[in-house]
A and B are shown apart, each in its own frame.
Chain A
Amino acid sequence: MNMSKVEPSVIKRQFNAPRQLVFDAWTKVEHLNHWMFPMQGCTCEFVSADIRDNGSSLHKITMPNGHEMWLYTKYEEVNSPDRLVFLQYMSNQEGEIVHANPVPNWPKDMLATLTFEDIDENNTQLTFLWEPVDPTEEEIKAFEETRAQHESGWGAGMAQLENYLGSLDA
């Protein structure tokens, strides 16, 4: 029962850029600071970046409302330009991991596995897998429940909230 297998969450994207460039965008600070944030109006600053096998990085994302998030990333595999595997955590500005996720029993370790493939010389397919590492039963449950919520948000309420937040941004 401890060998419970969790189906990873997946995002697939195509980028109109060569594979090496798409990969470098994930591993070089001069690229990362320009895009590593979830929406327009944020800024990103990497304060440390030792992006290689078993390396780590620390960056700060500042939201449009001024809210700051620090993220600590542990790299397990940096295999240019094919594969990138990392664990990312919310942290403080010293890079010490803080467990601030509001979801009870949210998995402590979430692993991201990125695979970069050529579509042709100027187009790249990125497959992004996201899954808990050695999750407990409770963590699996939390992960699966949150995944279910991804589809409906928190029900109609969350959809409305998002519309509202969207209008605030405008």
Chain B
Amino acid sequence: MARTKTTYDVFSAIGEPKRRVLIEQLVLKEMTVNELVEKVQWPQPVVSKHLGVLKQVKIVREKKNGRHRVYRIQPEELRPIQEWMHQFEKYWGGTLDQLDHYLNNIQARGKNEHE
């Protein structure tokens, strides 16, 4: 079957709600495919397919543990996403914290330095 292989980036990889569910589960603890299937109650090929995508963008890493393959999250890879998921409260809330620091700093430095 000649089918173009879809390429994913971190953003498109987590655009699919099922993959977000898998990420949520794996953040809680590392698991095998069977353990994941049991948790989410989807057919095993569905779980494997989505895990494959997450592996491709390195959000999930596979590691051999005896005769099992265990899947774990690579949280650093999610960092760009995180900024967006919480954009308003996290992003702007954090940015307003910076503004607060900045205003306090420049005023402490001397009230004549800004116009």
B115 close to A24 (CB less than 8 A): yes
Residues of B within 8 A of A3 (CB): none
Interface residue B95 (Cβ < 8 Å from any Cβ of A): yes
Residues of B within 8 A of A157 (CB): 23-25, 27-28
Interface residue B14 (Cβ < 8 Å from any Cβ of A): yes
A15 close to B93 (CB less than 8 A): no
Known: A65-B76, A100-B11, A168-B76. A25 touches B83 (CB 8 A): no
B100 close to A15 (CB less than 8 A): yes
Fill in one digit per residue for B1-30: 1 if any A CB lies within 8 Å of its CB, else 0: 000000000111011000010011101100
Residue among A24, A37, A39, A156 with max Cβ neighbours from chain B (10 Å) = A39
A24's partner among B85, B93, B114 (CB-CB below 8 A) is B114
Write the nearest CB–CB distance from A5 to chain B, whole angstroms: 18
In whole angstroms, what is the CA distance A51 to B98 when docked?
Answer: 20
Fill in one digit per residue for B92-115: 1 if any A CB lies within 8 Å of its CB, else 0: 111110111111100100000011
Interface residue B88 (Cβ < 8 Å from any Cβ of A): yes
Residues of B within 8 A of A168 (CB): 75-76
Interface residue A21 (Cβ < 8 Å from any Cβ of B): yes
Fill in one digit per residue for A133-170: 1 if any B CB lies within 8 Å of its CB, else 0: 00000000000001001100111111011101100100
In whole angstroms, what is the CA distance A36 to B97 when docked?
Answer: 10
Interface residue A22 (Cβ < 8 Å from any Cβ of B): yes
Interface residue A79 (Cβ < 8 Å from any Cβ of B): no
Fill in one digit per residue for A94-107: 1 if any B CB lies within 8 Å of its CB, else 0: 00000011111000
In whole angstroms, what is the CA distance A21 to B106 when docked?
Answer: 10
- 30 A-B pairs with CB atoms under 8 Å apart are A9-B89, A17-B104, A17-B107, A21-B114, A24-B114, A31-B114, A35-B98, A36-B95, A38-B83, A63-B79, A63-B80, A63-B83, A65-B79, A69-B83, A102-B11, A102-B12, A102-B14, A102-B84, A102-B85, A103-B15, A104-B15, A150-B88, A154-B23, A157-B25, A157-B28, A161-B73, A161-B75, A165-B75, A165-B78, A165-B79
The 5 closest A-B pairs by CB, nearest first: A157-B24, A38-B94, A35-B102, A157-B27, A35-B98
> Can you add 15 more A-B contacts, CB < 8 Å, to A24-B114, A36-B98, A153-B85?
A11-B88, A11-B92, A13-B96, A17-B107, A35-B101, A36-B99, A39-B98, A63-B83, A67-B79, A69-B80, A69-B83, A101-B84, A150-B88, A154-B20, A157-B23
